Amino acid sequence: MVRSMVPVAAALWALAAALTAHAQAWPAQLVKIVVPFSPGTGMDILARTVGPKLAEMWGQPVVVENKPGASGNLGAYQVAKSAPDGYTLVMGASTLVINKTLYKDMQYDPLADLEPIGLAANASLLLVAHPKLGITAARDLIAQAKARPGTFVYGSPGIATPHHMAMELFKARAGIDIVHIPFSATGPAVTQLLGGEVPIMFLPVHVAITHVKAGKLVALAMGGEKRHPLAPDVPTLGELGLRNANTDIWYALWAPARTPGAIVNRIGADMQKALAMPEVREALAKQGMQELTGTPAELRSLMDSDFARWAEVVKTAGIKAQ
């Protein structure tokens, strides 16, 4: 019995040694970071800011490739089906997890087919209203919406966008009914918001704050867990007593499932080093983003908890992807 186990042990040792050697040799070639959305989006800017820093650390080129389509599913699917060798990664967002609650015919499972590397940054949303509404605080909006259910309307750039999902989460936690008016893109939605036709909306804080300072919009509440440096006087939804109401968009890096742990840990550690660089933090701050730290295990836990939370919102609101 003991003798028969010797070849098995030797084979396992050889496999472990081979994986270790492979991880130590990584990277030996170009590394590609796929962004499953168009150029200029938050995750694209993040990847293009961090990428050059990683290239310097690794001594290998790091290229960013945009693969938009199917609300991010197309690019993420291509990475999920790539070789698990650390040379093809995806810089995505919390929307990849939300997609699993919306699409029944996805060709991959973000929770099973992607290997978490680590959190990278987050972007906070600010709940705003047009001044003509006469509402200056989220508490007032909640009180009036409860007194007159279904009479208020809010806008978003479209069905299942972060703006839409944030408001539906807020509605569910506050127990209010506000009617959704979806638009085809951010531009038309903001135009109607500033004109007062659709007077309530969640907007990225770095976009909204300019209009708030100009007196064109009123800041009601931050959607994140903490107050934001761009709007330090604006309370969070949590401060209003709404639990589990975090609407932040978080960004993270993934590899294909079954990528060796040593490679995953190396990429994650180096990404955190890049995110800690002052010039990187400054570049992200200009886009309303703040760097995050998080191990693969912490990202996995966040993905699982977010999936459960957003699945509840999607079911309650009856949201259907279009």
d(CA 83, CA 17): 20
The yes-or-no answer to whether 30-122+248-317 and 125-240 have a common fold is yes
Distances, alpha carbon 129 to alpha carbons 41, 291, 307, in Å: 24, 28, 29
Q: What is the dotted CATH code of the domain comprising 125-240?
A: 3.40.190.10
Domain ranges of the chain: 30-122+248-317, 125-240
b/e code 53-73 from CB counts within 10 Å (16+ = b)? bbbeebeeebebebbeebbbb
Instruction: Quote the mean pLDDT of the chain.
Output: 93
Question: pLDDT at position 104, please?
Answer: 86
Residues 161-213: tens digit of each pLDDT: 999 999 999 999 999 999 999 999 999 999 999 999 999 999 999 999 999 99
Helix (H) or strand (E) holding 255: strand 249-256
Q: For residue 52, how many other CB atoms are within 10 A of its CB?
A: 13
CATH class of residue range 30-122+248-317: alpha beta
One pLDDT digit (tens) per residue for the chain, 322 residues: 545 555 544 444 544 444 455 566 999 999 999 999 999 999 999 999 999 999 999 999 999 999 999 999 999 999 999 999 999 999 999 999 999 999 988 899 999 999 999 999 999 999 999 999 999 999 999 999 999 999 999 999 999 999 999 999 999 999 999 999 999 999 999 999 999 999 999 999 999 999 999 999 999 999 999 999 999 999 999 999 999 999 999 999 999 999 999 999 999 999 999 999 999 999 999 999 999 998 999 999 999 999 999 999 999 999 988 7
Question: pLDDT at position 16, please?
Answer: 45
Answer yes or no: are the C-beta atoms of 243 and 230 closer than 8 Å.
no
User: Which residues, other chains included, contact 171 with Cβ-Cβ below 8 Å and sequence gap of 6+?
Assistant: 177, 178, 317
